[in-house]
Structure 1
């Protein structure tokens, strides 16, 4: 897609920071934006979801491939600066080949998750900043969305809140006197380095409606450099309802504007807690009215083009948050692998709201939150009667639940593909592909996309035309085999060439953009 001049970073500080980082870079170059309603989000044929599917069979594999057919996120969580540079470069290059925008989740800050289920991260400020520099080098001038440190502002070590309270995250390894300031310094460094790139959109942690008040999260966002970023993200790896997050994000954006452009102070901002009642959504209009009054009092005008924008994680919020049965678990951990949750809105940049840049699947749906014990000695998750996979591991049962309880519902595959390599020779192979209509309506025209796993190329193809861009091959029907009736199938074949390396078979097949099962 074309690059558009950004309307979402503002302030002289942003231009100064970018100029310092890029030397001769112009303000316009440093202020480009990659998300608009026409943007195509990246479907990664080699995502962690597809990798998980490779180790599964039957319905579990079909579920994983269905989830992998939607645009998702690539989590970058470890490695040296050189390693993260290579990993990011591979992802953004693959996305650029398809004309799509990838979402990269940077999750490596020291004391991430405060040593809970997703503990880890860099070991020092210098190590983290070098890692961020490597990430930025890997992205380069390609388009990318960076979700900068989930929980990075919600959980800060040794942090004193805007209300003067010391938060619970108090790791003994961290210096109480400097840990919070270092967190903000690291995030500011990341904002400056990443927004200096010409085609990268950067979003900071805005938590969610069941967590921080608007004034508190606004305070943290401003300290972390949100006025030099594209905005903030909400609900990462969580389950809060989209309609509540839409209001909450709008209030945060308004609170930032009021604080930065008038005498109004962030601690005065209305929130889900007051004047609204958090458990009664019908009262949230009271907070809307409070912002109307604040704008009237300050004389400011809401201008979405000049305000902080936001993105919402809708990967698992179709059913909203889980309410644990009262008194059953010592610590219910409602956020940790809750039962019977569903996918939310599908990823899109066409949100219909000028402040919401996208609905994204930031959390990879189907990957575990961790081995949830809910205050018990374990090792089983007492809510599920089983040992949950470790954080990031594939969770077969949860993947099935997310599909079964999705809102809106997910369309199951209506096609099946078999991919058979009939013969191989040094640097070559012969393949036949069958495409079957497993639906109830006739297919009238088809394109079948799949991706090689290495340096393979199609030498020539019969019974279909084709295009190969990077690793992705798209085969298209000819006139005589465009129609496939329910229960019928058609076939095409090709001669492939290899670079002498491994020749893994493709696993994710998209027929006209939708997943097929694999025979």
Structure 2
């Protein structure tokens, strides 16, 4: 008996509705396929993977409650293209899973976004801690990803927080900086393994514009091998506005070009500098923009911009962690109108929790919500409804 038939019929129906365009065929596809005999067409849209299974239960429950408009909005959200996250799988599993997704995306004439999240010491061992145990283990995992992608198209968002949150930043390194050095080795290995694939583009982590200054993150990108990558990304899983992200991206790209020509990153304008001053600096210091690095941004939850915590209320407000009153941002696209800005993406899967947010309190409840937030990556019904109700622009439903 098919496993799908073991589900109650309404749940099976919802699961089918929430799946990606050809997700069923992708799940069954585990062996390499023969190469195409015809030229590969240009892919101009982004891939929609199967949704979080708990989203289907959420949709069904809303329908049972007579909340069909809310159900339609959640359905529209999860049917919007978003990244596929990978981390903690064995090499055999990750090779099989990535091959299935990139093959399915190719059949759909769409570009898949793969968020690779398996670096040792991931998230400073906090809410999203985990990842490979050693550098050797990580290299084997990246090798398996490369085999899974093969010659098919993929856009790789490489290791969120890997460069913006180094082991040295969270007290997890020794005096010699051994773990931070290993982090750079791991990121460089991933770049050198994945970027040379025929149709893969790799982007490196910058955090977001309210975190590192331009002249702080640029040296990290250089050490991480950005010169050999397609570029970088910003705002993954965060809430900064599209304008702030695009400006940050342009400044980083200009500073990287300046450094590549022998300049000092300390002289690059920060994102807080007056824009007219920064533009004049770019004109003077980057006369040839053709070599500037490209970037992508995350607009999954930034429709209302970042959350401003109540003044003096928390010792650690965790403004990045399931903040209240946020909305979906602009829909993903490969056409941003900016030649440096390759794509606006939904990197973070909207509707999935950031973790158990305590905001400096004893918990276990999130004091902003009065509930215990789901663990990182689990479906968060309250937040999912907030995101669709407060989306900017509004989310379209049939």
TM-score by length of 1: 0.65
Partner SS state of residue 55, structure 1: helix
**Which residue pairs with 1:474 in the alignment?**
none
Alignment of 1:258-273 (within 5 A): 258-261=258-261, 263-273=262-272
The whole-number CA distance in structure 1 between the counterparts of 2:122 and 2:175 is 15
The whole-number CA distance in structure 1 between the counterparts of 2:127 and 2:74 is 23
CA deviations on 1:15-71 (whole Å, 9 max, x unpaired) are: xxxxxxxxxxxxxxxxxxx998x6110012x232xx222322214654432211110
CA deviations on 1:247-306 (whole Å, 9 max, x unpaired) are: 110011011111102x32112111124xx1xxxxxx3333223323334xxxx3222xx3
**Which residue pairs with 2:280 in the alignment?**
289
Q: Does 1:243 align with 2:247?
A: no
CA deviations on 1:64-83 (whole Å, 9 max, x unpaired) are: 32211110110001111111
**Which residue pairs with 1:487 in the alignment?**
none
CA drift at 1:406: 1.2
CA drift at 1:117: 1.0
The whole-number CA distance in structure 1 between the counterparts of 2:231 and 2:258 is 15
Q: 1:35 to 1:148 in 2, by over 3 A?
A: farther
Match of 1:302 among 283, 286, 289: 289
**Which residue pairs with 1:80 in the alignment?**
90
Match of 1:70 among 59, 80, 83: 80
Number of aligned residues: 351
CA drift at 1:381: 0.1
**Which residue pairs with 2:172 in the alignment?**
171
**Which residue pairs with 1:395 in the alignment?**
380
**Which residue pairs with 1:17 in the alignment?**
none
The whole-number CA distance in structure 2 between the counterparts of 1:144 and 1:402 is 27
The whole-number CA distance in structure 2 between the counterparts of 1:337 and 1:81 is 31
Partner SS state of residue 339, structure 2: coil
| 8 Å Cα contact 2:251-2:271 kept in structure 1 | no
The whole-number CA distance in structure 2 between the counterparts of 1:106 and 1:405 is 29
| 8 Å Cα contact 1:35-1:349 kept in structure 2 | no
The whole-number CA distance in structure 2 between the counterparts of 1:75 and 1:328 is 34
The whole-number CA distance in structure 2 between the counterparts of 1:341 and 1:286 is 32
The whole-number CA distance in structure 2 between the counterparts of 1:250 and 1:235 is 14
The whole-number CA distance in structure 1 between the counterparts of 2:278 and 2:86 is 37
| 8 Å Cα contact 2:51-2:79 kept in structure 1 | no
The whole-number CA distance in structure 1 between the counterparts of 2:71 and 2:55 is 5
The whole-number CA distance in structure 2 between the counterparts of 1:176 and 1:81 is 31
The whole-number CA distance in structure 1 between the counterparts of 2:153 and 2:384 is 30
Partner SS state of residue 289, structure 2: coil
**Which residue pairs with 2:47 in the alignment?**
42
| 8 Å Cα contact 1:47-1:74 kept in structure 2 | no
| 8 Å Cα contact 1:202-1:229 kept in structure 2 | yes
CA deviations on 1:170-210 (whole Å, 9 max, x unpaired) are: 127x7853111110110000001001211111100022110
Q: Which has the larger radius of gyration?
A: 1
| 8 Å Cα contact 1:332-1:374 kept in structure 2 | yes
TM-score by length of 2: 0.85
Q: 1:378 to 1:35 in 2, by over 3 A?
A: farther
Structure with the bigger percentage of strand: 1
CA deviations on 1:102-155 (whole Å, 9 max, x unpaired) are: 000000001111011111111110001111111111111111111000001100
**Which residue pairs with 2:394 in the alignment?**
409
Runs of 4+ in 1 over 3 A off after TM superposition: 59-64, 174-177
Q: 1:405 to 1:214 in 2, by over 3 A?
A: same
Of 232-241 and 58-67, the range deviating more from structure 2: 58-67
Q: Does 1:54 align with 2:56?
A: yes
CA deviations on 1:363-421 (whole Å, 9 max, x unpaired) are: 0011000010000010000011110010001011111111111111112x22xxxxxxx
Q: 1:386 to 1:35 in 2, by over 3 A?
A: farther
| 8 Å Cα contact 2:120-2:132 kept in structure 1 | yes
**Which residue pairs with 1:109 in the alignment?**
119
CA deviations on 1:444-491 (whole Å, 9 max, x unpaired) are: xxxxxxxxxxxxxxxxxxxxxxxxxxxxxxxxxxxxxxxxxxxxxxxx
Structure with the bigger percentage of helix: 2
**Which residue pairs with 1:204 in the alignment?**
204
The whole-number CA distance in structure 2 between the counterparts of 1:138 and 1:265 is 39
CA deviations on 1:200-257 (whole Å, 9 max, x unpaired) are: 1110002211011111111111111111111000100000011111111001101111
The whole-number CA distance in structure 2 between the counterparts of 1:177 and 1:105 is 27
